[in-house]
Amino acid sequence: MTKEPSGKLIGRPIDRVDGILKVTGQAKYSADIALPRMSFGVLVQSTIPGGTIKDIKTVAAEKAPGVIAVLTHRNAPKVNKPKTNNPLLLLQDDTVRHGSQNIAVVIAETLQAATLASELIEIDYKESSFKTRLEDHGSSDLITAESHSDYARGNVADAFSKAAVKLDNKYTTPTEFHCPMEPFATVANWQNGKLTVYETTQGVFSSRKTLAETLGVPQENVHVISHFLGGGFGCKLVVWSHAVLAAMASQMVKRPVKLVVQRRQMFGPVGFRPKTIQQVTLSSGKDGKLSAIRHATISETSLFNNFVESCDEATRLLYDCPNVLTSNRVVKLNIGAPIWMRAPGDAPGSFALETAMDELADTLGIDPIELRLRNYAEKSPADGLPWSSKSLRECYRIGAQRSQWSDRKQKPKSVLEGKYLIGLGMASATHGTYRGSAQAIAELSVDGKLRIKVGTQDIGTGTYTIMTQIAADLLGMPISDVIAELGDTDLPTAPMSGGSMTAATVGSAVHDVCLALLATLKNNSSTNPKSPLFGIPVNDITYGAGRLSKKSEPSVQISFTELLKLSGKSVITAKVDSKPDPSADKYAKQSFGAQFARVRVDSELGTVHVTHLTGVYAAGKILNAKTARSQLMGGLIFGMSMAMFEEGIIDHQFGLVINNDLEQYHLPVHADIPEFDITFVPEDDPHINSIGAKGIGELGITGAPAAIANAVFNATGVRLRDLPIKLEKLL
């Protein structure tokens, strides 16, 4: 492990501190948890999208070898509706509201016995009419979701009527499933009125709240643990029904229950990105200066939640445009509940907006980067606030250089290499920067180890690593002496890992608690008569490499551990409740980037290969160059995946997802992966938080699909407004 003096660790490409545990199989994921007397639950899901269960025959399953119980709506304990907005269907009635709805759980001595018995359950449905196709909506089906309001500034209609150029086009994105490598899994154990849950979650505290509310027990009686997560991408931000059902089952059989959701059971009842239909209208003068943007989105939602895919977030603030009107409507269908996924709203929204901008550039004969510079927003057009920091211009400049933009031909279908058409496209990326409140504890013990405790989660992004890195940096200690603890509701309270806010939130809390610990150490060294620093004012005490010393006379010093020993303490603790500084509200806070794609299209077959993806990002201080690069590379892969592959397909005759496995739901594999070129523009935002870091998790997904579609246009002259890009759309 790297050893560095204080102040030199933040930003360095430190290896993941949990990397060895992961690659050697020592990291225990929820499904790996083994408890004495464990029983195993298997879900049974509906094979119709709407109707009622007339009869459910469970006798054969109950009599099968090893079966302990079968939980259905007939014997399920009554539970509460959660106050939180979790879309839960918990066997409380006989109604089927979507295909693959969880309608029974078989609990047995072994997974095999439960799986076999689950096949023996016979269900007699009364089917009702259903709707699963968003395109079939009538105007009366359009619902305004309260969670995300419409937006207006200026007068769009007036601007459109006077505009030199006006473009009006429809863009669509399909239903997309999160497909984390690690499927959902819950181990639930009721003992003496208390529930312990090992859960695949992006929020241990929010999970605890929902479980407690639903099950009608105080939150103190629920303990949620999630030490490692194999991806979440948003679907693990809420508690889904299987987790509560596992807890209900454990209460019923009075044993621990392990319930792992099968891959094919993940396509419906555990969230997805809803299909969107987006109408974007742009107007400008001949010089490309935008005069108006209208962005109207319709997205699909379930019968039992009102989730809205908020595609207009970037439209409100990305460009300096006086007249903007956006709306978001949802249509209720017999589908599972959609939920946040990989830059919710911003990923499909930026596809529409940034493709429309490319169309405007093409119509006017203006270079796409130049068009964006002519509409550069020097302050936030949404609220008039100054940006806390914004280096988008630098992103364009560096990205143009690195992608050889100057060689690009503005006229499409201009570059042929053999039988391949070559194209280059770009798009802007942006994502909101958020910071929540988090508590943190730092414990320095006499053995020289520093424990940093925060009840956050590491969803695979590197939270363990940056917690360790920030603490080691601030206290001048080696990485190997710092132990980060997270993923447990017994630890200090922290928010969900979502909205790309964990590094900014948890990083700031770790920063603050380390400074608090340092202040305590300095104070102890100055006030303890046995200390060599006794009587020296704290502002004349400095530190480094695990020692405190007198600034003006460095030979007067004491190590942290000696100080603990002579204070007669085995541990010194600091605790903070780290909150956003309200002065940050005087600024508009966004991270920015520019994405560039180079594609090669087979002129005979129409096959598209993305050969190069260049991303340049300005996202505040980068805490770890290695894990940050991995995240932005992940963002580009997700963006490419969205552009080229992902599409949940529902058979509308039966109302069921038909490509419900990783063979038929297409995700990129190594052979699909292009050359990546990822650059960070140095930024240290002084306003957003104590560590100057913005979020990076979702930024890289925004813009990338449009950059690819724009590159395909540049290569072929075919404008693609419907994702994913498929060869038949090019022929």
**Residues at the interface with ligand MOS (CB under 6 A):** 202, 232-234, 237, 340-342, 344, 498-499
Please report how close the Cβ of residue 278 comes to ligand MOS at its closest, in angstroms.
Answer: 19
Q: How far apart are CA 532 and CA 562, in angstroms?
A: 11
Please report how close the Cβ of residue 235 comes to ligand MOS at its closest, in angstroms.
Answer: 8
Assess whether 109 carries a catalytic annotation. Answer: no
User: Closer CB to ligand MOS, residue 175 or residue 334?
Assistant: 175
User: Closer CB to ligand MOS, residue 235 or residue 715?
Assistant: 235
Please report how close the Cβ of residue 232 comes to ligand MOS at its closest, in angstroms.
Answer: 6
User: Closer CB to ligand MOS, residue 340 or residue 596?
Assistant: 340
Which pair of structure tokens corresponds to residue 261?
A: 């959701």
User: In whole angstroms, what separates CA 470 from the centre of its chain?
Assistant: 22
Please state whether the peptide bond connecting residue 348 to the residue before it is cis, i.e. omega within 30 degrees of 0: no
Rg (CA), the chain: 27
User: Closer CB to ligand MOS, residue 180 or residue 546?
Assistant: 180
Please report how close the Cβ of residue 341 comes to ligand MOS at its closest, in angstroms.
Answer: 5
Q: How far apart are CA 52 and CA 356, in angstroms?
A: 45
Q: How many CB atoms lie within 10 A of CB 442?
A: 28
Amino acid identity, residue 351?
F
Residue 701 CB contacts under 8 Å (≥ 6 apart), including other chains? 342, 343, 346, 347, 635, 638, 639, 642
User: Closer CB to ligand MOS, residue 291 or residue 328?
Assistant: 328
User: Closer CB to ligand MOS, residue 342 or residue 621?
Assistant: 342
Please report how close the Cβ of residue 433 comes to ligand MOS at its closest, in angstroms.
Answer: 13
610 within 8 A of 674, measured Cβ to Cβ? yes
Kind and range of the H or E run holding 482: strand 482-485
Q: Which residues of 593-615 are buried (b: 16+ CB within 10 A; e: fewer)?
A: bbbbbbbbbeeeebebebebbbb
User: In whole angstroms, what separates CA 245 from the centre of its chain?
Assistant: 25
Q: How far apart are CA 677 and CA 683, in angstroms?
A: 19
Cα dihedral angle (400, 403, 404, 410), rounded to 10 degrees? -70
Kind and range of the H or E run holding 518: helix 502-527
Please report how close the Cβ of residue 101 comes to ligand MOS at its closest, in angstroms.
Answer: 23
Please report how close the Cβ of residue 497 comes to ligand MOS at its closest, in angstroms.
Answer: 7
User: Closer CB to ligand MOS, residue 462 or residue 498?
Assistant: 498
Instruction: Give the CB-nearest residue to ligand MOS.
Output: 234
User: In whole angstroms, what separates CA 534 from the centre of its chain?
Assistant: 49
Pairing of strands 257-260, 39-45: parallel
Please report how close the Cβ of residue 698 comes to ligand MOS at its closest, in angstroms.
Answer: 6
196 within 8 A of 225, measured Cβ to Cβ? yes
Q: How far apart are CA 449 and CA 437, in angstroms?
A: 26
621 within 8 A of 10, measured Cβ to Cβ? yes
Which pair of structure tokens corresponds to residue 570?
A: 């085995």
Kind and range of the H or E run holding 471: helix 463-475
Please report how close the Cβ of residue 202 comes to ligand MOS at its closest, in angstroms.
Answer: 6
Please report how close the Cβ of residue 499 comes to ligand MOS at its closest, in angstroms.
Answer: 5
User: Closer CB to ligand MOS, residue 209 or residue 600?
Assistant: 209
Please report how close the Cβ of residue 699 comes to ligand MOS at its closest, in angstroms.
Answer: 12
Amino acid identity, residue 375?
N
User: Closer CB to ligand MOS, residue 148 or residue 342?
Assistant: 342
User: Closer CB to ligand MOS, residue 531 or residue 590?
Assistant: 590
Please report how close the Cβ of residue 498 comes to ligand MOS at its closest, in angstroms.
Answer: 3
Cα-Cα end-to-end distance for the chain: 54
User: Closer CB to ligand MOS, residue 251 or residue 463?
Assistant: 463
Catalytic residue of the set 176, 309, 646, 698: 698
* SS3 readout for 573-636: EEEEEECCCHHHHHCECEEEEEEEEEEEEECCCCCEEEEEEEEEEECECCCEHHHHHHHHHHHH
- Tell me the H-state helices in 609-731: 625-644, 704-716
Q: How far apart are CA 648 and CA 363, in angstroms?
A: 33
Name the 3-class secondary structure at 324. Answer: strand
User: Closer CB to ligand MOS, residue 51 or residue 344?
Assistant: 344
Nearest to 327 by CA among 153, 142, 151: 151
User: Closer CB to ligand MOS, residue 82 or residue 495?
Assistant: 495
Q: How far apart are CA 30 and CA 581, in angstroms?
A: 36
Please report how close the Cβ of residue 459 comes to ligand MOS at its closest, in angstroms.
Answer: 7
Residue 379 CB contacts under 8 Å (≥ 6 apart), including other chains? 385, 386, 387, 588
Q: What CA–CA distances, in Å, run from 222 to 213, 225, 684?
A: 10, 10, 40
Q: In what order do the strands lie in the sheet with 438-445?
A: 482-485, 450-453, 438-445, 571-578
336 within 8 A of 178, measured Cβ to Cβ? no
Q: How far apart are CA 620 and CA 390, in angstroms?
A: 9
Catalytic residues: 698
